[in-house]
Structure 1
Amino acid sequence: MVRDLVVRELDHDPRFRWRGGAVTRIENLSDIVFALAFGMLVSSAARPTTFSELTGHLLTIVPVAAGFALLVLIWNAHFTFFRRYGVADGRIILLNCVLLLLVLFVAYPLRFIFDSLFGVILAQLGNWAVLEGTGIGFREAGIIMAYFSFGYALIFLIISLMYGHALGRSQQLELSETEKAITRQSLWHYGCQAGMATVTGLVALLTPAGPIAGALMILIGPLVFLGSRFIKTPALAGHSQEAGAMQ
């Protein structure tokens, strides 16, 4: 009983009653796939054998960190979904399998993409060695940005569909008004990421903007903020009364 109180009051999701109890087999499988993807992302570079190669290897912490952060973002959305809703019906299993396939498939390309984008940044600072080593020009960098954007959009589209499915099952899950509002905010958040990434990919592929089109992703923040302003959540005190009534 004390543990339940601590979880409700001190976890990172105090306004949402977590319905996912014990870790399920689908979550175990998902964690294994994410672990493999993290390993593929970090270990895809060749082992350095000289001092200059070691120095270059240390610089790869920047693109590796960028790819790592993106995978963590995806993992956290996945983790939060199963903790909040505990849903594992046929549709969620299908969507989850598609998500895992995408995560596993994009691990190596993700490292290449961020290495290439990092090379573009270094080239703007006068160091062309990394970019020349990849054989990538401005046009190729734009195509790489389009690949990244479309993959990003597809992943967050799947996550959006998962959250939308949970919202559609709000009655069976006995979601409170606060929880339904938070779910709508999450749905808007991930939908904005998918939509903006799609626009970025189209601009990168079809216009002369090329890799510079990635700057459009900055608009995700303001769009998410606007959604949080329009999709109001009841006060925390009101949620506590709802949660108490449900127990």
Structure 2
Amino acid sequence: MLRETIDRELDHDPRFTWRGGSVTRIENLSDIVFALALGMIVSSAARPETFDQLTANLLTIIPVTAAFGILFMIWNAHYIFFRRYGVADGRIILLNCILLLLVLFTAYPLRFIFDSLYGYIEGVMGDWSRLQAAGINFREAGIIMGYFALGYGLIYFIISQMYAHALSKADLLGLNSSEIAMTRQSIWIFRVQILIVALTGACAVWTPMYAFSGWIMGLIWPAALLVDRLIPVPEADPDAPSTA
């Protein structure tokens, strides 16, 4: 009894009963793939051979941190899904495989995008050497942002489908009213992200905004807060039966 009380008080997801038991093989495989993608982001730069190259390499911690943060958010959404629902049927396995492929496919472009953005910041400060070495102009920067928007949108589309599949099994999983509302809330937050990123990509490719359209993604956070207000989560007994 004491252990259960402590677990509930220290749980970072106290309003949702985790149905995922021991870590499954599909989760182990997923963690390996995410680790590979994170390694690709960190180690994609060439090995430094001079002091100046070492200094420049150390400064890449800025774009690496940004790319790392985005990939970690994707991993966290994936982690929470399996902990909350513990679903690993054929549909989830298929969706998870597609997700892992997209994660690996977007790792290098993700790093390249933030390297380019960092190069632009350096250019504004008077050093355009990084962008010149990469051979990127404003038009190409917009296309790169479009690639990022496409990959990001597809990843969150797959994640939203995984959550929607879990919601369709609310009765089988025994989700209570609070957990159903939290699941719907997560799905709509993912969908709003997809719409905002799609707008970002369209503006980047087909308008003179080019890579500057990336600022549109700043709408994701206030939009998520709006979804939180529009889909309130009622207080419910975690042991109550599903009301789906």
Short-chain TM bin:
over 0.9
Give the total of aligned pairs.
241
Distance in 1 between the 2:74 and 2:195 partners?
Answer: 16
TM-score (norm 2): 0.96
**Alpha-carbon deviations, 1:52-73, whole Å to 9, x = none?**
1011101100110011001100
C-alpha contact 1:8 1:17 (8 A) present in aligned 2 = no
Q: Percent identity?
A: 61
| Structure 1: gaps spanning 5 or more residues | none
Partner of 2:238: 243
Distance 1:203 1:111 in 2: 21
Shift of 1:24: 0.4
Q: Give the corresponding residue for 1:223.
A: 223
Separation in 2 of the partners of 1:201 and 1:143? 8
The RMSD of aligned alpha carbons is 1.2
SS in structure 2 at match of 1:243: coil
Q: Letter of the 1:186 partner, please give it.
A: S
Partners in 2 of 1:101 and 1:2 — Cα distance?
Answer: 42
CA-to-aligned-CA distance 1:8-46 (integer Å, 9 cap, x gap): 221110000000010000000000101111111111111
- SS at structure 1 position matched to 2:238: helix
Structure 1 residue 106 corresponds to structure 2 residue 106: yes
Establish whether residue 118 from structure 1 lines up as the match of residue 113 from structure 2. no
Q: CA deviation at 1:184?
A: 1.0
Distance 1:244 1:55 in 2: 56
Q: In the alignment, residue 228 of structure 1 is paired with which amino acid?
A: D
Question: Could you state the TM-score of these two structures normalised by the residue count of structure 1?
Answer: 0.94
Runs (5+) with no aligned partner, structure 2: none
Give the equivalent residue in structure 2 for 1:143.
143
Instruction: Tell me whether 1:204 sits opposite 2:199 in the alignment.
Output: no
- Please state how far the C-alpha of 1:115 moved relative to its aligned partner: 0.7
| 1:188-229 alpha-carbon deviations (Å, 9 max, x no partner) | 111111111111101101111100110110111121111111
1:38 touches 1:68 (CA, 8 Å); kept in 2?
A: yes
Question: Which secondary structure does the structure 2 equivalent of 1:208 belong to?
Answer: coil
Q: 2 CA distance for matches of 1:205 and 1:168?
A: 36
Relative to 1, partners in 2 of residues 1:32 and 1:171: Cα closer, same or farther, differing over 3 Å? same
1:73 to 2:73 alignment: yes
